[in-house]
C-alpha cells in the first residue's frame, strides 16, 4: 500500500491541468467524461472560475454511450457548440473511462477540424497523472500549432536570425526579449502574484514578450518566436520550451525569479542569448545549407540549463551526487515540498540570501533532470512521511502538516494544485512568488 493516501490529498489531475493551461486563450476545452472531472476542476482547481469566462465543457458521457462507443454524439455536440461560440481552437481531453475504452481522440479531432474549420487537437490525458503532465502537453500543443514560423519581428526565429545578422540589423532590445513558460494559477496563484516574476526580470532589463499562459492572449503567445530566450518557470513549461527550441532555435533556461536567485537567473539568460548569437554567427560563416536547427542539434537536456541546481551549495561543495544526496538528507536545515522548478528556485534563493542548507522533496511525476543533487522525488504518502521524520524546518502546503513531525517548525506555503481553493484567502494576502523572500 505504499502509494495509498490516508491523510493527505493527491495533486490536481492531468485533465484539470489541461483546462488550467488553456483557460485564457480563447479556445474550447472539452473533457470527455460523465461529469466528475468537471466538478472537481471548477470547484477545487480553478480560482478564475467565477471571475473570468472560459469555454470549458464536459461531454456528459453516459454508460450506454461508453459501452456502445457512440462517438458520433460526442462529435455532434462539439460541433454544435463550436458553431455557436466560435472558439479559436478546440482541445479534447480524455478521462479514465474513454481511456479504458480506447476512444480514438486524434481521429475525433481530425473529423471535428474538417467539419468546423477550427483547429482541433487532442491532449492525451487519462485522469491518472498529475497536473504537470496535462498542462505541459497542452502548452506543447499550443507551441506546435500556433507559434508561427513566418514571424520575423524579433531576433531569434530560426528563419530570421541569420537574415538579421547578415544585414547587421540586430536590435539590442530584441536580445532582452523573453517568454515565461509554465505560468498557471495551480503553481503561482492569482495573476498579480505571477506578474511579480515579470516585474522582477524587468528590473534586470528584460522585456517580457509573453507569459504562458496567464495574462496574455493566444495572439501574443503566437509571437513567442520573437523572444531571444525562454525561461521555464515551472515544469509545466518544459515541453513547450523544447518545441520552441526545435522550431526556432530559441534557447531556454530553467528557473523562476525569486529573491537573490533572480540575479543568477538573469546571468544565465544572458549567457544563453550570447551562446545562441554565437551559434548564429558560426552558421553564417559556414554558409550552412539549412537555417533550421535540426532536432538533434537543438536537443538540450534540462540538467544542462537548470540554473538553480548550478548555484545550490550542495552541488557546489560536494562533487559526488550520491554523497550530496546522503549528506543533504541528514544535514539540510530546511525542507521544501512541491513542484521542482519553483521549489528548487526558492531553495537557491534561501541558500544565497541566508546561507541555510535546503533540500527539496518533490511528489510530482516529471522530475527528471530538474532536481539538484540531494533533492529527491517522492512517491506516495508513506514515503513522504518517512523522508520528513528528521526534518527540522518545513515549508509546504498546510495540508502536509499532519504527516510532519510534531516538533518541526512548519511554515505554510499554500499550493493550489494540492489544496485547491481552501487557502485562497491566505494566498491573496501573501506576496507573489518573486517576492517570497
Same structural domain for residues 313 and 291?
Answer: no
- In a shared domain, residues 39 and 90: yes
Is 6 among the domain residues? no
Does one domain contain both 194 and 261?
yes
Same structural domain for residues 192 and 257?
yes
Residue 143 lies in a domain: no
51 domain residue, yes or no:
yes
Q: Look at residue 36 in the predicted model and tell me its pLDDT.
A: 66
For residue 48, the model assigns a pLDDT of 92
CATH code for position 419: 3.40.50
Q: What is the pLDDT of residue 315?
A: 43
Global pTM reads 0.87
In this structure, the strands spanning 409-412 and 393-396 are parallel
Q: At what angle do helices 105-116 and 71-85 cross, to 10 degrees?
A: 40
Q: Along the chain (437 residues), what's the average pLDDT of each consecutive run of 10 residues?
A: 81 94 96 76 87 88 78 92 96 88 92 96 93 97 87 46 46 79 96 94 95 94 95 96 94 96 95 74 41 40 74 54 50 91 96 93 94 92 94 96 95 96 94 90
Domain's final residue, options 94, 129, 164: 129
Identify the domain boundary among 129, 163, 187: 129
Instruction: Decide if 136 is inside a domain.
Output: no
Q: What is the pLDDT of residue 253?
A: 96
Cell numbers of 130, please? 498529475
pLDDT value of residue 159: 47
Question: H or E element: which one contains 334?
Answer: strand 334-337
Residues 277 and 216 in one domain: yes
- Tell whether 196 and 326 lie within a shared domain: no
Considering the domain architecture, whether residues 257 and 157 belong to the same structural domain is answered as yes
How many structural domains are present in the chain? 3
Q: What is the pLDDT of residue 304?
A: 64
- Residue 365 forms part of a structural domain: yes
**Whether residue 297 is found in the same domain as residue 336:** no
Q: Specify whether 107 is located in the same domain as 173.
A: no
- Sign of the CA dihedral with 410 first, then 416, 418, and 421 last: positive
Q: Within a domain: residue 78? A: yes
Last residue of a domain, one of 99, 129, 159: 129
The answer as to whether 7 is a domain residue is no
Would you give the DSSP letter of residue 302?
G
pLDDT of residue 287: 39
Task: Report the CATH number at residue 179.
Answer: 3.40.50.1980
Helix, strand, coil proportions of the chain in percent (round to 5)?
A: 50, 15, 35
374, 417: one domain: yes
Which residues form the domain of 287?
150-301
In a domain, 1, yes or no: no
Q: Which residues contact 22 (CB under 8 A, 6 or more apart)?
A: 29, 91, 138, 142, 213
My answer on whether 348 and 405 are in the same domain is: yes
170: number of Cβ within 10 Å: 15
Whether 180 and 104 share a structural domain: no
Q: How many helices (H) and strands (E) does the chain have?
A: 22, 13
Residue 192: Cβ within 10 Å count: 10
Amino acid at each position: 500500500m505504499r502509494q495509498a493516501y490516508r491523510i493527505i490529498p493527491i495533486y490536481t489531475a492531468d485533465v484539470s491541468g489541461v483546462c488550467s493551461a488553456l483557460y485564457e486563450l480563447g479556445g474550447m476545452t472539452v473533457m470527455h467524461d460523465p461529469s466528475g472531472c468537471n466538478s472537481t476542476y471548477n470547484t477545487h482547481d480553478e480560482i478564475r472560475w467565477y471571475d473570468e469566462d472560459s469555454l470549458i465543457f464536459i461531454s456528459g458521457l453516459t454508460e450506454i454511450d461508453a459501452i456502445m462507443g457512440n462517438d458520433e454524439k460526442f462529435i455532434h455536440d462539439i460541433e454544435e457548440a463550436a458553431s455557436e461560440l466560435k472558439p479559436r481552437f478546440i482541445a479534447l481531453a480524455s478521462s479514465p473511462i474513454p481511456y479504458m475504452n480506447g476512444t480514438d481522440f486524434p481521429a475525433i479531432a481530425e473529423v471535428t477540424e474538417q467539419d468546423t474549420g477550427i483547429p482541433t487537437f487532442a491532449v492525451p490525458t487519462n485522469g491518472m497523472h498529475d497536473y504537470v503532465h496535462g498542462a505541459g502537453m497542452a502548452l506543447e500543443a499550443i507551441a506546435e500549432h500556433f507559434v508561427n514560423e513566418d514571424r520575423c519581428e524579433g531576433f531569434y526565429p530560426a528563419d530570421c536570425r541569420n537574415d538579421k545578422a547578415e544585414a547587421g540589423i540586430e536590435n539590442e532590445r530584441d536580445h532582452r526579449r523573453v517568454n515565461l513558460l509554465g505560468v498557471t494559477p495551480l503553481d503561482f496563484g492569482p495573476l498579480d502574484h505571477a506578474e511579480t516574476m515579470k516585474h522582477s526580470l524587468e528590473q534586470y532589463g528584460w522585456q517580457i514578450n509573453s507569459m504562458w499562459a496567464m495574462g496574455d492572449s493566444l495572439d501574443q503567445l503566437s509571437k513567442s518566436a520573437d523572444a531571444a530566450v525562454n525561461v521555464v518557470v515551472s515544469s509545466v513549461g518544459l515541453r513547450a520550451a523544447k518545441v520552441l527550441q526545435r522550431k526556432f532555435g530559441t534557447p531556454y533556461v530553467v528557473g523562476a525569479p525569486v529573491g537573490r536567485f533572480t540575479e543568477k537567473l538573469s546571468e544565465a539568460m544572458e549567457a544563453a542569448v550570447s551562446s545562441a548569437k554565437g551559434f548564429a554567427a558560426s552558421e553564417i560563416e559556414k554558409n550552412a545549407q539549412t537555417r533550421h536547427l535540426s532536432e538533434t542539434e537543438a536537443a538540450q537536456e534540462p540538467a544542462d540549463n537548470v540554473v538553480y541546481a548550478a548555484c545550490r551549495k550542495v552541488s557546489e561543495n560536494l562533487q559526488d551526487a550520491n554523497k550530496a544526496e546522503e549528506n543533504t538528507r541528514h544535514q539540510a536545515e530546511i525542507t521544501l515540498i512541491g513542484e521542482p522548478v519553483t521549489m528548487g528556485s526558492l531553495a537557491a534563493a534561501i541558500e544565497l540570501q541566508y546561507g541555510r542548507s535546503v533540500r527539496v522533496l518533490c511528489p510530482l511525476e516529471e522530475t527528471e533532470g530538474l532536481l539538484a543533487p540531494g533533492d529527491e522525488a517522492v512517491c506516495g504518502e508513506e514515503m513522504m512521511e518517512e523522508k520528513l521524520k528528521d526534518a527540522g524546518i518545513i515549508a509546504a502546503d498546510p495540508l502536509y502538516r499532519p504527516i510532519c513531525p510534531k516538533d518541526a517548525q512548519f511554515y505554510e506555503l499554500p499550493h493550489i494544485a494540492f489544496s485547491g481553493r481552501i487557502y485562497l484567502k491566505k494566498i491573496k494576502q501573501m506576496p507573489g512568488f518573486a517576492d517570497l523572500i
